[in-house]
Amino acid sequence: MNGNGSAIELQSLTKRYGKTTAVDKIDLSVSSGTTLGLLGPNGAGKSTTLRMMMGVLRPTSGHMRVLGMDVMRSPAEVKQRVGYVPEVHYIYRWMSVEAVLRFARACYHTWNADLCSELLDMFELPQRMLVRQLSKGMLAKLSLVVALAHEPDLLVLDEPLSGLDPIARDEFLDGVLKGICGGRRTVMFSSHQLDEVNRLADSVAIMNAGRILVHCPLEELLRSTKRVRAVLDNGRLPQATSDAVVWQQVNRREWQITLHPYSDEIVSRLQADNPVSNIEVMDLSLDDIFKDFIRGQRQSC
């Protein structure tokens, strides 16, 4: 680990494809033993970021340290200590499940055969079945077994529950991430399922257009992001806003503003500087917060 207890440190990490910037100078730190949920719409740069962390893609610029190691200088050492489930599962389709596990076991210095058997039973994976015969959900389960059986210090999961049925999803969330990994391993996962993030994440990073829009503990994000609803007097438009405005919308006389970080002082200034009345402050769900951050960035573009 780094001296500051971070399992992941990304500094000014950038990936460009010609004139297209997929990841734009992001800074991100994930504390050891915590779980980070990485949120963002399709094309936000989440998978590109995770692939760079795993040494699959070379960054255009910036620095990455994973478990105290420079990813570009020590890619083999990083892979020994990280369990990675990519968005697309690159597993030889001609192999059987049993052969995949033997192949994977030979790649790692450590392998917990009991844990592997436990996961196979949990996911009801038939070991003699060929990979090409597996459904999308079963293939996802096999990828998870391979990622977990060598007992990594860090799990990097790119949409890990895509294709899993609700029962298998609950088994993985409660039995694996909470039971096997909870508090002992660092987990970074991307997901479109906000209920999963609510259940698992200690902190959340929202990403869009290659940039990190916000990164903070989940409880803090929920506590410090609120929506203000006000009535505009005489149909006049707002005259002044605030740097804390994430997203806003005017619909006739109704003015809605999402603030992060929220404070009573900001609301008082907005009320003093604008022709408004009937101020109402509302708590937001993670789903609302995510949407407002994305919509707000699109407004500013």
Q: Is the peptide bond before 261 cis (omega within 30 degrees of 0)?
A: yes
The pTM of this model reads 0.90
- Residue 180's pLDDT is 59
- Residue 3's pLDDT is 42
What would the pLDDT profile of 234-258 be if each residue is shown by its tens digit? 767 787 788 999 999 998 889 999 9
Q: What is the mean pLDDT of residues 20-49?
A: 95
Map out the domains of the chain as residue ranges.
Answer: 6-216, 226-283
Residues in Cβ contact with 48 at an 8 Å cutoff, skipping those fewer than 6 apart = 15, 22, 23, 57
Do residues 7 and 32 touch, judged by C-beta distance below 8 A? yes
Q: What is the mean pLDDT of residues 292-297?
A: 94
Domain at 6-216, CATH class: alpha beta
Closest CA to 164 of 187, 139, 146: 139
For residue 92, the SS3 value is coil
Cα–Cα dist 254/228, whole Å: 10
Sequence-ordered alpha helix ranges (H) in the chain: 46-53, 75-81, 97-107, 113-123, 136-149, 166-170, 194-200, 218-224, 264-273, 286-300
- Residue 182's pLDDT is 56
Tokens representing 125 are 């994976």
- Residue 1's pLDDT is 47
Cα–Cα dist 101/115, whole Å: 12
What would the pLDDT profile of 39-83 be if each residue is shown by its tens digit? 999 999 999 999 999 999 999 999 999 999 999 999 999 999 999
